[in-house]
Amino acid sequence: MSKLLVFAAPSGAGKTTIVRHLLKKYGELAFSVSATTRPPRAHEVEGRDYYFISPEKFRELLAQDAFVEWEEVYEGLFYGTLKREVERLWAAGRHIIFDIDVKGALNIKRLYPRQTLAVFVRPPSVEALRQRLLARSTEDEATLKKRLGKAEEEMASEDKFDLVLVNDSLEEALKKAEQIVGQFIHQA
């Protein structure tokens, strides 16, 4: 049976770095590419990082019940996991790893409770998260404030996850993530 590993965190907590590391470490994992209505960042590639679609197309897919989970993360900014993406990876016999928001993670856990391990990646503090977001140079003051407010809301949900992984030292967080994933995918 294929398993689902869901990594969720506030923006800037390090979940994408951790997920990319795990994909290199475990060849039996496949990345679930999410759909989003936000524009791509300079380094992002269509179909590898996200499926970039218009808000109109996203709403059309919603009407067709085409998502396993979806969320309007910020006003007018949608993210979601397409059912066809999960089916594609399951057909290939892979364990699926997700890098998604907190609400989406909990929705997947609710849909597939026995197959899913939900891991919340937590920054050591809100101030550390603020510094990480500033270092990315992708936020203006308004979006930074919005992201930090959302981060505090998301961190209040960490007790709904199977495990909490504190990303204080990236090296230690990567080692711990390897242990978590190794145990989960290799247990009967």
Q: How confident is the model at residue 188 (pLDDT cuts 50, 70, 90)?
A: low
pTM of the model: 0.85
What's the CATH number where 114 sits?
3.40.50.300
Asked if 106 and 154 count as a contact pair (C-beta separation under 8 A), the reply is no
Kindly state the percentage of the chain with pLDDT values over 70: 96
DSSP 97-147: EEEE-HHHHHHHHHHSTTTEEEEEEE-S-HHHHHHHHHHHT---HHHHHHH
Structural domain that includes position 128: 4-186
**pLDDT tens, 33-90?**
999 999 999 999 999 999 999 999 999 999 999 999 998 877 889 999 999 999 999 9
What pairs with residue 117 in β-bridges?
5
User: How many domains, in total, are found in the chain?
Assistant: 1
**pLDDT tens, 110-122?**
999 999 999 999 8
Asked if 49 and 33 count as a contact pair (C-beta separation under 8 A), the reply is yes
Question: 51: Cβ–Cβ under 8 A, 6 or more apart, which residues?
Answer: 33, 34, 35, 36, 82, 85
